[in-house]
Structure 1
Amino acid sequence: MKALLTTTLVFLVAASVVSQTVRKYSNEFMNIGVDAAAMGMSNAVVAHSADVNSGYWNPAGLVHVADKQLALMHSSYFANIANYDYLAFAMPLDERSAIGVSVIRFAVDDILNTTQLIDEEGNINYDRISLFSTADYGVTFSYARNLPLDGLNYGVSAKVIRRIIGDFASSWGFGLDAAIQFETKNNWKFGIMARDITTTFNAWAIDEEKFAEIQNAIEGENQELPETTEITIPKLQVGVSKKFIFRYDYSLLAAVDLHVRFEQNNDIISTSFASVTPSVGFEFGYLDMVFLRTGVGNFQNELQIDNTERVSFQPSLGVGFKYKGIQVDYAFTDIGDQSVALYSNVFSLKLDFSIFR
């Protein structure tokens, strides 16, 4: 417990210092979320996450994995321009510990490169147009273990970030996450997920020759090389959940999470030290086989044209089906365009290897 308190204190101090001195929005693709079941509940899952997807949401939950599990997810954003894919695997090591690994790819492929459209003589030559892609990769290695205190688990994750922008620039990044989960005897569950506790570091390598081509193609723009170092500030997700059973066949899972960023922004609770936005999720189950999910989150104070403010939010819906270790889930987010993001259809598949035994 002393180690946990020390880690928490270091996390808060680092967050308060870094938030005032560095760029805050690197590696945002790692904050989108994974698993259609979680997205259907507006990502309010940090307290009860207990499967292969826990490597992302709360690595402490991996201790509940009883056999090898595999997860896949795909979604598209911005009218199918950007593709978001996720693959994860987890397995128990023994009765008290488990490991997991996951890969996230967020990419826009086949972008037209028109920097060479006009040749040296000022003529337009469409044969000089080429294609390139920009892709972000996040690989996470997770470990979880039970603590001697009954119901308390901890988990840690090491992240490797790879970002590529054609042959213009690329970067490597590294960081750590830490998390705990606690379940009481009356089935209340609590979870804390601290992301980027080491302030995830990204170092960029930029091809100055290629960058010079962009400068020549767009006169008066991009005249200076961008920053070659980025640091992602820590974030905190705190949650509580409880599952209720009705007449043996019906269940209701209710969860509330608080998403904390150590910066001042448009969240409904915002100070110079930290900003907080809640998310609430519900899952209605029948026979632990068919699921209907809903949630609401991402509450923001939006400034209107008349200088008044209104609170916007992002609702979500989802359905799921599970049978003998195979689970298929679907989520539909951003109903009614309540936030600035476009709606998304998210599909995911989870496979428990126990079906082969």
Structure 2
Amino acid sequence: MKAFITLVFITVTLATYAQTKYSNEFMNIGVDAAALGMSNAVTASTKDVNAGYWNPAGLVNLEDRQLALMHSSYFANIANYDYAAFAMPLDDRSAFGISLIRFAVDDILDTTQLIDDQGNVNYDRISLFSTADYGLTFSYARKLPVQGLNYGVNAKVIRRIIGDFANSWGFGFDAAIQFKTDNNWEFGVMARDITTTFNSWSYDEEAFERVQNAVEGQNQELPETTEITIPKLQLGVAKTYTFHYDYTLRAELDLNMRFAQNNDIISTSFASINPALGFEFGYIDMIYLRGGVGNFQNELQIDNSESLSFQPSFGLGFKYNGIHVDYAFTDIGDQSVALYSNVFSLKLDFSIFR
């Protein structure tokens, strides 16, 4: 049974690449527990090292170098998601950042050679492999001559590996702007994969043949060698309120748009729109309480009726002398499908050493 499950997993995974019209969904999970606790509604207000992911235009707000780290596990600790980023101001008008994401399932049993040509079972022939996705992003941001208006761009390199069965390289670009008014209104636009991101796959035919022959009746051709990640557009508006000097409240509404029809709450043949709403309550710029709701989906039921599902999130944060520790309780699906995960992230502002 274990051998069969493993072989079907590999076969279905590889076959999926031949059918998909967009890919690299691991790049849409999100980074930074502070943002995840707000249901990813930070497009307009992000302004630290993590802005390289959410909206690179926000990097111009950096006053010193920053380092960010994050780890989370999904699907009952089967999949590990790790993130590291560094950013720094170049001068008083521009900034640079670099980040790396790894999403992987490690130590998968390869039982394709468990049974030899004579039908003998040899457990020594079992090996382990990993399926891992990597995203390396280079970010640049600059202030424009208009007061409060900034722009940013990302160049992304995608590397995907499925053991010795298949691997791919991909390249893509993002573009973004942010605008802040004098009365603390903030606006943001993030266009992901604006040129469409192409992944070019190569396969080990010998390894793939083992999968084809190991499952009886399976003899499909090699999948297509190219994946396409279609563009996505994120629009955000945020407002920060201050009460009695010590208390702050930041609220943001984002609209996440895909140029494809799916189960989003607003869906047409041209585009689908999914809203996300996030809140952050702060006390003396040290303790933060966060919450949000997003990923609204129209789910088709057995009786052909539709029900609305959504993804709530919750988070906490603590900041002291340039050290930020954040926690989020969230998932990567809606509340009825995926298991919730505990996400922790750390951010270090190098001003602590000054």
Q: What is the TM-score when the length of structure 1 is the normalising length?
A: 0.92
Q: Which residue identity lines up with residue 60 of structure 1 in the other structure?
A: A
Is residue 43 of structure 1 aligned with residue 40 of structure 2? yes
How many aligned residue pairs are there?
336
Task: Report SS of the residue matched to 1:210.
Answer: helix
Q: Which residue identity lines up with residue 92 of structure 1 in the other structure?
A: P
Correspondence list, 1:320-335, <5 A: 320-334=317-331
Shift of 1:267: 0.2
Identity among equivalent pairs (%): 79
Indicate if the aligned counterparts of 2:72 and 2:341 stay in contact, CA closer than 8 A. yes
Partner of 1:15: none
Indicate if the aligned counterparts of 2:150 and 2:179 stay in contact, CA closer than 8 A. yes
Partner of 1:139: 136
Is residue 121 of structure 1 aligned with residue 108 of structure 2? no
Task: Report SS of the residue matched to 1:315.
Answer: strand
Partner of 2:277: 280
Q: Deviations over 1:67-125 (max 9, x none)?
A: 00000000000110100000000000000000000000000100000100111101211
Q: What is the TM-score when the length of structure 2 is the normalising length?
A: 0.93
Partner of 2:200: 203
Partner of 1:290: 287
Q: Which of residues 146, 150, 154 is equivalent to 1:149?
A: 146
Distance in 2 of aligned mates of 1:330 and 1:76: 13
Q: Which residue identity lines up with residue 284 of structure 1 in the other structure?
A: F
Indicate if the aligned counterparts of 1:316 and 1:335 stay in contact, CA closer than 8 A. no
Q: Deviations over 1:303-325 (max 9, x none)?
A: 11221111000000000000010
Q: Deviations over 1:276-320 (max 9, x none)?
A: 010000000000100000000000000112211110000000000
Distance in 2 of aligned mates of 1:172 and 1:325: 37
Shift of 1:273: 0.3
Q: Which residue identity lines up with residue 305 of structure 2 in the other structure?
A: T
Indicate if the aligned counterparts of 1:279 and 1:297 stay in contact, CA closer than 8 A. yes
Q: Which of residues 170, 173, 188 is equivalent to 2:170?
A: 173
Q: Which residue identity lines up with residue 247 of structure 2 in the other structure?
A: Y
Distance in 2 of aligned mates of 1:158 and 1:82: 26
Distance in 2 of aligned mates of 1:23 and 1:156: 26
Partner of 2:11: none
Distance in 2 of aligned mates of 1:352 and 1:89: 10
Task: Report SS of the residue matched to 1:257.
Answer: strand
Shift of 1:127: 1.1
Indicate if the aligned counterparts of 1:61 and 1:153 stay in contact, CA closer than 8 A. yes
Q: Which residue identity lines up with residue 321 of structure 2 in the other structure?
A: K
Please list every run of 5 or more consecutive structure 2 residues that lacks an aligned counterpart in the other structure.
1-18
Is residue 188 of structure 1 aligned with residue 194 of structure 2? no
Distance in 2 of aligned mates of 1:231 and 1:64: 33
Partner of 1:303: 300
Distance in 2 of aligned mates of 1:272 and 1:347: 38
Distance in 2 of aligned mates of 1:193 and 1:172: 23
